[in-house]
Amino acid sequence: MVAMESRTIEQLNSENIVLQEKVAELSAINKIAHILGTSLEFEEFLDQFIVAIQDIVKCDHVLILVQDDQETILQYGASNFKLPGDQQSNLEGLRIGTFQPEPGSIVDTWSNGNSVWAKPQTNEDNLSIKWLSTYLKTDSFFGTPLRSENNLIGAIIIDNSTSGKPIEKEHQYWLETISPSGAMALQNARLHHKTVRELADSMREMYILRQIDRELSDTININHVFEMTLDWALRFSNAQSTSLALFDQESNTLHFLFEYGYDVPQEQLDIIRQEYGSGITARVANSGYAEVVPDVSMDPDFVRMATNTRSQMAVPVMREDRVVAVITLDSKKLNGFTDAHLDFVQKLATRAGVAIDNARLYEEAIREREKLSHILNNTADMVMVIGNDERIILINQAALNAMQLYTNQDYTRRLASETFEHTALWATFQRAKNSGENIIEEVMMPNERIFHANLRRFEGIGWIVVMHDVTPYKEMDKLKGELIATVSHDLKQPLSVMNGYIELMIMQQSVTQQGLNSVHMIRKAMQNMRQLIDDLLDLAKIESGIKLNLEAVQIEQIIQDCIEQVKPAAQNKAITVINNITETLPAIMADRSRMRQILINLIGNGVKYTGTEGWVKIGSEIKSNTLRIAIQDNGMGISPEDQIHVFERFYRVRRPETDNIEGTGLGLAIVKSLVEAHGGQITVESKLGEGTTFYLALPIAQS
């Protein structure tokens, strides 16, 4: 209290003033801080910032400079400076470099955290102040830096040129008071602005990449892929020029395919490259790693192709682990490429790599297709592919000829029924379709030629039909058959005469015992010869189209008869013949005696080619409309090489173990012809030394 009383009115007044000043200072800072919280929109923030500065500092004009994203310049942010006429737009173009500023220049002073007070007399000595005074059309201004964590992020410039009042210490005081919180507010607004923009950029990037993917997947032209890639790279990275070079790893050479935006003429580019090499592009081609060079003047490898290039980015286009091309982008800005630019161009390069692959694969596929179609159209074999929808996928010239279709018409996509229903192949195709099995058979085509047809089902495709013209073989075969038939017939007659005399000699008993032995040998040989001739004649008859006496027969009964018939031979070798058919089988349409001939042959062979104490088993199986009879033995077996030939005439397997077995090699040929005459099929499965199974597939009679 005592102290209080001792204070004078003056003292109190001056304390009051200090207090008021402090309050004013606080309220000014508060005001700036308030802006920080209210506006997120960058432009709006800058406008409000100007109003607040003007309000607190009490000056005529305010100009706020802000640093650009690359942090290389201070540029116009917002202002209420009024320059005469068209110079207002100049103001908005105001840019001051911050990269390596001259010592003592405005930027240098600001970077060090100091304000600049330009007065007419100082303007003359300091070039940068003089330049800015002229630019802003004012001879006195005050500029204070906006710094965040010691980095220059902007500046505030004020002047009083309208009112003509000089800038006072007070102005300086207020401006410097609010600048730290102003800088904080600016930094926040910038960060927010940057985040929003980055978000928009990544949205844009996503959108563009989607579009790129769509366009690239539609493109099969490699040059077009490159052109599009460069166009997007240029647009997205704000580069001024770009090139794309193909790289050949073997010869280590770059071939520049596209170049955009260089101010040096094309011929000169080539000359420069010949003389100085391809600089950073070549480096990236060799390393396979993308590079961003923020300042080309610092890179010893850089080769200048455009006068104003200041930074460069080069990205490799890879296929598997090889560099196939390099995209190079030039910017006239220092540090002109951000991580986002690099990331985007790398994504583009990846896509271009895939697109190149696709385009190459497509070209290869086309080439292969042309080759294949050339081969297909020049082969004498009929080739046809039918899709699952029963439409023609492929049909070659030979097929068109054989079907007597128009050779100059395109039958692809046509229905199979429209294309070959008129041919015998249609029935074969229907059978293959209904049974789901592959079919191999001979078909007579409308051009009256006989084809060996092979119909195969391919999952996911449909059916492939390959048909080989066997007409010449058929004709030769027929001739051979006729010849054999004639000769055999002519042989039969002298054979009968010889046989008569032999029998007479035996009856007359006019020869010695030794002579009689020889006569018996001759009789045996003649019997074999007769068997051979009978077989030959029989085969010729069957092949020329025998008339079968078809009736519904129960094959299990015939099998039982045949077993009885071969029993003596089997018993001689202690071979067991086992009939595994116990149930009644569906009837088949067959010629009873021919069916017996078939089965005797097969069961007889089983006994003939099986060693003592072996077995022969007969079984059956029903599969859709087919009755399958299996005649299995555990005899000597047939090698795969011999299996293909056993149904041929006169084919006999030559092995030591078959040496003493008699035969003509005609049995299976007759069996095959007979089975086929019945509309059936015969196949063999065998393993040498283990045994053989013959399968007889016969169509079941439709009741």
Contact residues: ligand ADP, CB under 6 A: 605-606, 609, 633, 635-636, 638, 646, 651-653, 658, 663-669, 692
What is the SS3 string spanning 88-124? Answer: HHHHHCCEEECCCCCCCCHHHHHHCCCCEEECHHHHH
Nearer to ligand ADP (CB atom), residue 385 or residue 668: 668
Q: In the complex, what is the shortest distance from the CB of residue 474 to ligand ADP, in angstroms, rounded to a whole number?
A: 21
Per the CB < 8 A criterion, the answer to whether 286 and 252 are in contact is: yes
CA-based Rg of the chain, rounded to a whole angstrom?
52
Nearer to ligand ADP (CB atom), residue 348 or residue 603: 603
Pick the closest to residue 350 from 330, 320, 313 (CA basis): 320
d(CA 536, CA 76): 111
Nearer to ligand ADP (CB atom), residue 355 or residue 638: 638
Per the CB < 8 A criterion, the answer to whether 587 and 552 are in contact is: yes
- Helical pair 169-218 and 339-378, crossing angle rounded to 10 deg: 10
Nearer to ligand ADP (CB atom), residue 241 or residue 601: 601
Q: In the complex, what is the shortest distance from the CB of residue 666 to ligand ADP, in angstroms, rounded to a whole number?
A: 6
Q: In the complex, what is the shortest distance from the CB of residue 582 to ligand ADP, in angstroms, rounded to a whole number?
A: 23
- Could you tell me which residues come within 8 angstroms of residue 407 by beta carbon, excluding any fewer than 6 positions away? 397, 400, 401
Q: In the complex, what is the shortest distance from the CB of residue 622 to ligand ADP, in angstroms, rounded to a whole number?
A: 24
Written as six digits, the tokens of 300 are 């010893």
User: Partners of 387 in the beta sheet?
Assistant: 462
Q: In the complex, what is the shortest distance from the CB of residue 577 to ligand ADP, in angstroms, rounded to a whole number?
A: 13
Q: In the complex, what is the shortest distance from the CB of residue 692 to ligand ADP, in angstroms, rounded to a whole number?
A: 4
Nearer to ligand ADP (CB atom), residue 186 or residue 636: 636
Place of tokens 């790599």: 353
Q: In the complex, what is the shortest distance from the CB of residue 589 to ligand ADP, in angstroms, rounded to a whole number?
A: 25
Written as six digits, the tokens of 1 are 């209290």
Q: In the complex, what is the shortest distance from the CB of residue 468 to ligand ADP, in angstroms, rounded to a whole number?
A: 25
Per the CB < 8 A criterion, the answer to whether 272 and 303 are in contact is: yes
Amino acid identity, position 586: P
Nearer to ligand ADP (CB atom), residue 599 or residue 636: 636
d(CA 78, CA 618): 104
Nearer to ligand ADP (CB atom), residue 279 or residue 606: 606
Around Cβ 589, how many Cβ atoms within 10 Å?
A: 16
Nearer to ligand ADP (CB atom), residue 319 or residue 652: 652
| DSSP string across 449-499 | -EEEEEEEEETTTEEEEEEEE-HHHHHHHHHHHHHHHHHHHHHHHHHHHHH
Burial of 374 (0-12, 13-18, 19+ CB in 10 A): exposed
d(CA 687, CA 663): 21
Pick the closest to residue 230 from 252, 247, 245 (CA basis): 245
Nearer to ligand ADP (CB atom), residue 189 or residue 646: 646
Written as six digits, the tokens of 666 are 């005609």
d(CA 124, CA 67): 27
Q: In the complex, what is the shortest distance from the CB of residue 476 to ligand ADP, in angstroms, rounded to a whole number?
A: 21
Pairing of strands 73-79, 61-67: antiparallel
Q: In the complex, what is the shortest distance from the CB of residue 645 to ligand ADP, in angstroms, rounded to a whole number?
A: 8
Q: In the complex, what is the shortest distance from the CB of residue 610 to ligand ADP, in angstroms, rounded to a whole number?
A: 7
Show the beta-strand stretches assigned E in 36-170.
Answer: 61-67, 73-79, 95-97, 116-118, 141-148, 151-159
d(CA 45, CA 503): 134
Q: In the complex, what is the shortest distance from the CB of residue 491 to ligand ADP, in angstroms, rounded to a whole number?
A: 18
d(CA 181, CA 177): 8
Nearer to ligand ADP (CB atom), residue 279 or residue 604: 604
Q: In the complex, what is the shortest distance from the CB of residue 631 to ligand ADP, in angstroms, rounded to a whole number?
A: 8
- DSSP letter, residue 156: E
Nearer to ligand ADP (CB atom), residue 281 or residue 605: 605
Nearer to ligand ADP (CB atom), residue 92 or residue 690: 690
Pick the closest to residue 696 from 560, 609, 601 (CA basis): 601
Per the CB < 8 A criterion, the answer to whether 292 and 342 are in contact is: yes
Per the CB < 8 A criterion, the answer to whether 533 and 495 are in contact is: yes
Amino acid identity, position 103: P
Nearer to ligand ADP (CB atom), residue 156 or residue 599: 599
Q: In the complex, what is the shortest distance from the CB of residue 699 to ligand ADP, in angstroms, rounded to a whole number?
A: 24
Nearer to ligand ADP (CB atom), residue 134 or residue 683: 683
The DSSP H or E segment spanning 325 is strand 322-331
d(CA 50, CA 47): 5
d(CA 70, CA 153): 11
Written as six digits, the tokens of 284 are 């990236």
Nearer to ligand ADP (CB atom), residue 197 or residue 524: 524
User: Partners of 392 in the beta sheet?
Assistant: 386
End-to-end CA distance of the chain: 135
Nearer to ligand ADP (CB atom), residue 142 or residue 647: 647
Q: In the complex, what is the shortest distance from the CB of residue 571 to ligand ADP, in angstroms, rounded to a whole number?
A: 18
Nearer to ligand ADP (CB atom), residue 316 or residue 606: 606
Q: In the complex, what is the shortest distance from the CB of residue 502 to ligand ADP, in angstroms, rounded to a whole number?
A: 24
Q: In the complex, what is the shortest distance from the CB of residue 655 to ligand ADP, in angstroms, rounded to a whole number?
A: 8
Pick the closest to residue 155 from 118, 202, 122, 107 (CA basis): 107
CA 16 remoteness from chain centre: 84
User: Partners of 146 in the beta sheet?
Assistant: 154
